[in-house]
Amino acid sequence: MEVTAQWVRTYWTKQSRGEPGATRRNAVPQGFLLPEAAQPLVHEVTIREKEGFVPVEQMRREPSDPAEVEAVRDSDLVRVRICPTGFGGPWVYSLQTLNLAHGPATPEIFLGRPDRVVDELAHLR
């Protein structure tokens, strides 16, 4: 099975909830150009406020921490659940986007609009 996953994780503190940090945070894309690599591929992109919202990319054959991803079969579908590990230190907000492709994937597959979206964002007060 040819599967490509791109996991985009953005982390920030309360300093970037308002301006001018929120503008930089909101400018982070939810999809990036894939590196040239054979499938299966996990392309991890991490963006942190403390690093100036500059993307750091890594390629792997599986997630860096397999305990963070759970695949659940639901009849003919497989649902993927992101299970964040524990947090230590000051409060940190995160936005995690998991882009998945089944079958041959071009480097620009995650740059456009997705075929399906599952939105589980929490409402912040």
Query: Averaged in consecutive runs of 10 residues, what is the pLDDT profile of the chain (125 residues)?
Result: 85 88 90 83 90 91 65 62 60 87 88 84 70
State the pLDDT at residue 90.
73
Residue 20 CA to its chain's centroid (Å): 23
| Owner of token pair 């740059």 | 111
What is the reported pTM? 0.77
Handedness of CA 30, 34, 40, 44 (dihedral sign): negative
Instruction: Give yes or no for a contact between 72 and 39, defined as CB atoms under 8 angstroms apart.
Output: no
State the pLDDT at residue 47.
94
Q: Phi/psi at 21 (nearest 5 deg)?
A: -65, -35
